[in-house]
Structure 1
Amino acid sequence: MEELPEHVKWSYYAMVEACEEAEEDLAKEGRSSFVNYTRDQMKTLSKAYIQEVRWCHEKYVPTYYEYMKKIALVTSPYPHGIVASLLGMGEIASKEVFEWACQNPMPDIIKAASTIIRLMNDIGGHKFEQQRKHLASAVQCLMEKHGLLEEEANEKLKEEVEDAWKVINQAMLQPYVIPKPILTRILNLARSANVMYMGYDDGYTHVNQTLKDKVASVLAHPIPMKSFFFADDVL
């Protein structure tokens, strides 16, 4: 640990503290062992980040399929985020649900949500990221390894995003093996990508006023109850 950069140490200790706090809270429900699923996902995410760093320093540009299979979906980082979010969902997030969410290969709906956030991020952030030392994006992979022009690469990735939404829609319409609130949680995380990368602009890195207003409306400026009217008010 001592040889690690300070920012890495800070991230590590913050994650350890978060897991310990979650264990304390879930111990009251007899579910503290479920935190281990989040730890395992974090290990997988960390390994993928290390692979990103290696490729970046080696200036290695993978094929699009290698990029998506080995690191891109994991570092989206929805697989970890989804599993971590299940910790707060109570008894409906059973051991079977955690086992399902953590399986390899990942469930189709989690893969689809991860694809959406990853590709929207890559399209929106490609030009800015290539101005500095950075891992090749999906756009660059398609351009350098598959001979596509930038516009063609963007169009292909947008088609992939549309296909991923079809997978999510299908999962939400099929008979539920996994409880619907769990699937809805994943759906909502996918929806958040549309908020952050609306119009395929990188609103996560370069926060625009629209996104600021959305965050403020949730956290800083709640809608007062007097703004609502109920059926009894108009009868």
Structure 2
Amino acid sequence: MGRRMMTGKTIAFMTILDDTYDAYGTIHELELFTEAILRWDINLIKSLPQCMKVIFDMLVELCEEIELMTKESGKSSFVVPYFKQAIFTFTKGYMVEARWCLEGYIPTYNEYKVNEILTTGIPVLLTTFIGAGKFTTKDVFDWIFSDSKIIEVASVIGRFLDVFVQFLLDI
């Protein structure tokens, strides 16, 4: 499977995950779901709705596909753990948003900005797309995950573009 196909699957997964946190789970279900992802523990999802079980299975399958895609080049030993780390951060950000919504809390601009950097998914996408690249090294991923300023700025730009497009669609 090619990088573009894997990136497309990852984007689809991220969209489903976003919708799950926005509309398809109670706070208790989302807390259990988030914990299952963070611990990578399928036993924690047994009491959750079927849709969350399917999403967890999709995540496991996505990781397996990334591992297959990067195994031949010897990169799976560092690409898959970084992908999981990116997913962990991504879901933690969605959990923060879900709590804000439940509590009726309106975050300050700085609180919003910090969390929205987590939920843009730039590290998730970079891991998927770059991970299959010919010249990918562990150093590249170390840099991406070192709280690089350029990744932060790209995330902020991505989030504001998303908000701007949504604004245009609502007009």
**TM-score (ref. length: structure 1):** 0.50
Secondary structure, counterpart of 1:201 in structure 2: helix
**TM-score (ref. length: structure 2):** 0.67
* Match of residue 154 from structure 1: none
| Contact residue 49 and residue 75 of structure 1 kept, 8 A | yes
Secondary structure, counterpart of 1:52 in structure 2: helix
* Match of residue 88 from structure 1: 132
* Match of residue 68 from structure 1: 113
CA–CA distance in structure 1, aligned partners of residues 49 and 100 of structure 2: 19
Mapped pair 1:119 → 2:86: no
Q: CA deviation at 1:5?
A: 2.7
Post-superposition, which runs of at least 4 consecutive aligned residues in structure 1 deviate over 3 A?
Answer: none
Mapped pair 1:23 → 2:67: yes
Identical residues among aligned pairs (%): 32
Name structure 1 gaps, 5 residues minimum. Answer: 126-199, 207-235
CA–CA distance in structure 2, aligned partners of residues 121 and 25 of structure 1: 30
Alignment of 1:149-168 (within 5 A): none
Q: CA deviation at 1:56?
A: 0.6
Residues 73-105 of structure 1 deviation map (CA, whole Å, 9 limit, x = unaligned)? 111122221222211212x110000111111xx
Letter of the structure 2 residue corresponding to residue 57 of structure 1: L
Mapped pair 1:39 → 2:6: no
| Contact residue 69 and residue 132 of structure 2 kept, 8 A | no
* Match of residue 143 from structure 2: 100
CA–CA distance in structure 2, aligned partners of residues 25 and 121 of structure 1: 30
Name structure 2 gaps, 5 residues minimum. Answer: 1-44
CA RMSD of aligned residues (A): 1.7
Structure 1 or 2, whichever has the larger Rg, is 1
Greater RCO, 1 or 2 (C-alpha within 8 Å, sep 6+):
2
Letter of the structure 2 residue corresponding to residue 101 of structure 1: I
Secondary structure, counterpart of 1:115 in structure 2: helix
**Which is helix-richer, 1 or 2?**
2
Q: CA deviation at 1:31?
A: 1.3
Q: CA deviation at 1:39?
A: 0.6
CA–CA distance in structure 2, aligned partners of residues 48 and 97 of structure 1: 23
CA–CA distance in structure 2, aligned partners of residues 76 and 25 of structure 1: 24
How many residue pairs were aligned?
Answer: 125
* Match of residue 168 from structure 2: 201
| Contact residue 83 and residue 102 of structure 1 kept, 8 A | no
CA–CA distance in structure 1, aligned partners of residues 137 and 52 of structure 2: 32
CA–CA distance in structure 1, aligned partners of residues 144 and 101 of structure 2: 29
